[in-house]
Structure 1
Amino acid sequence: MSRWTSRRRRTSALIAGIGATALILSACSGGGDEGDDDGEGGDDPILIGISLPLTGDFAEPGQGVQRGYELWAETVNANGGLLGRQIELKIVDDQSNADRVVADYEALITQDEVDLVIGPFSSRLVLASARVVDEYGMLFVEPAGAAANIFEAGYGNLFYAAPAIADDHYNYLFDYIMEMPEDERPQTASYATMDDPLAQGAAYGLKDKLEEAGITTLVDEVYPPNTTDFSGIAAALAEADADLMVGGTQYQDGVNMIVAVQQLNYQPRMAAFTTAPTLPEFVDALGAGVEGVLAPTGYSPTADYAGNAEFVEAIAELYDREPSEDEANAYTAGQVVQAAVEAVGCAEQGECQQELIDWLHANTVPTVVGDLAWDEAGRPNGAHFIQQYVAGQPEIVLPADQATAEFINIKPEW
């Protein structure tokens, strides 16, 4: 018996609890009869194809997405399956490569003849794969493609399973800065961002708003996704000595950037990074250096959303920690697909896919990240929390009505 299987069995009661909640939420969403599967699947498993970056630049968050998908499928299966059929995931590794992810979805749809597909991690890979999924007219719910250009490409089949797109990730932080007394708010800012639609989109969404508000940009650096040497970028950041440092990062690049500026003793008053601080490995890599670091996050373990407490408990049992944002967003993507399939009553390639798409455009789905609804381009209707490390722990500091700790205005030294 594998370690994974053993731990799964120890969480069976928790999984059953989540599944019971999911069934209640699906019933509240309305729609067709759950057991009325008019396709040709019969009792065969519902095969869901997924390409993920399990190696390469996006491996850390990609593996988190895999864990979220697998927990969702296990939860559904433990509670009778989807339309009375078990879910089988076929997950392939796209190696963080945009060409590879396109080939993967092409093969999953045409060769493996999967019933459904769910999206990969990262805006770069979502944008590449969305085209081929759209060509086959299939529903494409994705957990991690938030860049604005994805929703400007005209894909009516795409739905982002998170609260907000990249440009709006820092909205609460911008509002907070603007509400600070003028002599206390940052006057200058520096930006260093990976050439990646999500990372750069989030950082530049904040940059555009701050510049319009009169906060001066001192550094604006964009680096390739495979960058490992941050000495030059760190030197520019340290020399500029801006009040606010913003990193448009994934994971390892965020850690490397922080280590590089630490070595030059650059101490910004505020420091914000995308993705990296939301991963549990972030604290392991930086220790006390995480204190005061900010990040947008689409998920909070403390949020009072239906089913979230059970989800948190299941992750704690499996990994002895709280869920990561990537795990939650993947789990959410599964919830969204589940709601549509149960409402429409089918899960096969063909005309069923357009019915699923139409249903999601017309309905709201309760999830562990809140109630989600979408516009015609697949943009969600919510807003991201702002997370900050307080006493070594990731806490929600914005918005105030969801905060678990007070905002630290001046970041402690690295």
Structure 2
Amino acid sequence: MSSRRKHTWGVAAALSAGALVLTTACSGDSGGGGSDDTIVIGVSLPLTGDFSEPGKGVQRGYEAWAQMVNEDGGLLGRQVELKILDDQSSADRVVQDYEALIAKDQVDLIFGPFSTRLVVPSARVAEEYGMLFVEPAGAAGEVFEQGFENLFYAAPAIAEDHYDYLAEYLLGLPEDERPQTVAVASMDDPFAQGTAYGLRDKLAEGGLEIVVDEVYPPNTTDFSSIAAKISSSGADVVVGGTQYQDAVNLIVSLQQLNYQPRLAAFSTAPTNPEFSAAIGAKTEGILSPTGYTPEAAWESNTDFVERYTEIHGSPPSEDEANAFTTGQVVAAAVEAVGCAEQGDCQQQLIDWLRDAEVDTVVGPLSWDDAGRPQSAHLIQQYVDGEIRIVLPEDAQEADFVFPKPAW
């Protein structure tokens, strides 16, 4: 885009407000928009159901953002109040929630939910009402093919590009060192499949053979048959298009069969703090893409990690960081435009972001006309029991280990 405007927003500058007021409610609860002293932000999250684990991480990120906003003096000098509803991981429910938040409760602003399955229907509601829609977890390509003009993804890259650095590395290896076969198992979910298939397709184009390619429903708990196919194939690389519990169940099933790939890559599960213990602390070599690392030296990230750790006793993970980034992006627009309410203000916020670059805890973000971020994901790997950035080389915290049995 031409005439790009650079706006730098640290935590203290862009985020502010007094005491955190958090309302967690059901869709039928009554409520209202903000007052002269309060800005109310409506959110629907999967706090129960299939996406509850990452959904709660997003909730923690939103709450941390609001608390820091409120500690730092206010967004436009006003307190921030979050009104969070539980959509129960249901697309029908998320539509009802955003309808209620916007039309009935008259919230001033909205933040997006977790999961592409929930982002697309809720973005349609937001567009119908002319609301700015910044979201932390709708990364699948289909999100950006709907023609939304109000949507912005608050992360460095979309799902299909998450593993670009890994594909580039593997295909750049000498022929006799390169893996030859790949087994893929993915949840029937746009984000999970987007991440897994982006890597699958790049490796296949580079000459690797896809020997297993399985899709399973989101509620799958028994992975014995899929694990047996993968184990029998003897694939060099296993790629999991996973959320959290499905990855744990698949890995445990593969462990029981003594299957040892040379490399294992999963969409999101390794970023979860409980992941290592859930699979018996046998994580060495497992990979995942990430748009975030607590060690990143971005100015606002240093403050975010310190203050988040004070609140929770541990550093934030990617889900929390992307939620926090959503708050930063919306705050930057609100402070720049000088308003935060329904009506004409929303289009001003959208227009400002279309031609802006915003400094966040995941780095500088800018977007194309469809809301795609214009950056790249890092590749992280468990090395000596700790998850470290290994690709690209100029960002690595440890050397990429390959080949390495994954568990």
Q: TM-score, normalised by structure 1?
A: 0.90
Matches for 1:3-402 after TM superposition, within 5 Å: 19-22=11-14, 43-402=36-395
Deviation of 1:334 after TM superposition, in Å, equals 0.2
CA contact 1:297–1:386 (8 Å) conserved in 2: yes
Deviation of 1:183 after TM superposition, in Å, equals 0.9
Residue identity in the other structure for 2:248 = V
CA contact 2:283–2:406 (8 Å) conserved in 1: no
1:19 & 1:181 partners in 2: Cα distance?
45
The alpha-carbon distance between structure 1 residues 265 and 99, as it changes in their structure 2 partners (threshold 3 A), is same
Q: Which moved more, 1:166-175 or 1:122-131?
A: 122-131
Identity %: 67
2:329 & 2:11 partners in 1: Cα distance?
14
CA RMSD of aligned residues (A): 1.5
Structure 1 ranges of 4+ moved more than 6 A:
none
CA contact 1:147–1:166 (8 Å) conserved in 2: yes
Q: Helix, strand or coil for the counterpart of 2:83?
A: strand
Q: Which moved more, 1:315-324 or 1:63-72?
A: 315-324
2:114 & 2:193 partners in 1: Cα distance?
15
CA contact 2:10–2:299 (8 Å) conserved in 1: no
1:21 & 1:287 partners in 2: Cα distance?
43
Residue identity in the other structure for 2:79 = Q
Deviation of 1:43 after TM superposition, in Å, equals 2.3
The one-character-per-residue Cα deviations of 1:103-128 (angstroms, maximum 9, x if unpaired) are 11111111111110000001111012
1:72 & 1:388 partners in 2: Cα distance?
28
Residue identity in the other structure for 1:394 = I
CA contact 2:291–2:362 (8 Å) conserved in 1: yes
Deviation of 1:412 after TM superposition, in Å, equals 3.0
1:316 & 1:358 partners in 2: Cα distance?
35
Deviation of 1:286 after TM superposition, in Å, equals 1.7
CA contact 1:118–1:141 (8 Å) conserved in 2: yes
The alpha-carbon distance between structure 1 residues 129 and 42, as it changes in their structure 2 partners (threshold 3 A), is closer
The alpha-carbon distance between structure 1 residues 41 and 321, as it changes in their structure 2 partners (threshold 3 A), is closer
CA contact 1:328–1:369 (8 Å) conserved in 2: yes
Residue segments in structure 2 that go unaligned for 5+ positions in a row: 1-8, 17-32
Q: Which moved more, 1:178-187 or 1:366-375?
A: 178-187
The alpha-carbon distance between structure 1 residues 79 and 181, as it changes in their structure 2 partners (threshold 3 A), is same
The one-character-per-residue Cα deviations of 1:120-159 (angstroms, maximum 9, x if unpaired) are 0011110121111111110000000000000000001000
CA contact 1:303–1:402 (8 Å) conserved in 2: no
CA contact 2:237–2:264 (8 Å) conserved in 1: yes
2:34 & 2:138 partners in 1: Cα distance?
30
Residue identity in the other structure for 1:50 = V
Q: Helix, strand or coil for the counterpart of 2:134?
A: strand
1:411 & 1:280 partners in 2: Cα distance?
22
Residue identity in the other structure for 1:343 = A
CA contact 2:38–2:79 (8 Å) conserved in 1: yes
Deviation of 1:411 after TM superposition, in Å, equals 2.2
Counterpart check, 1:409 vs 2:396? no
Residue identity in the other structure for 1:112 = D
Deviation of 1:318 after TM superposition, in Å, equals 2.3
CA contact 1:134–1:155 (8 Å) conserved in 2: yes
The one-character-per-residue Cα deviations of 1:51-77 (angstroms, maximum 9, x if unpaired) are 000011111110000000011111111
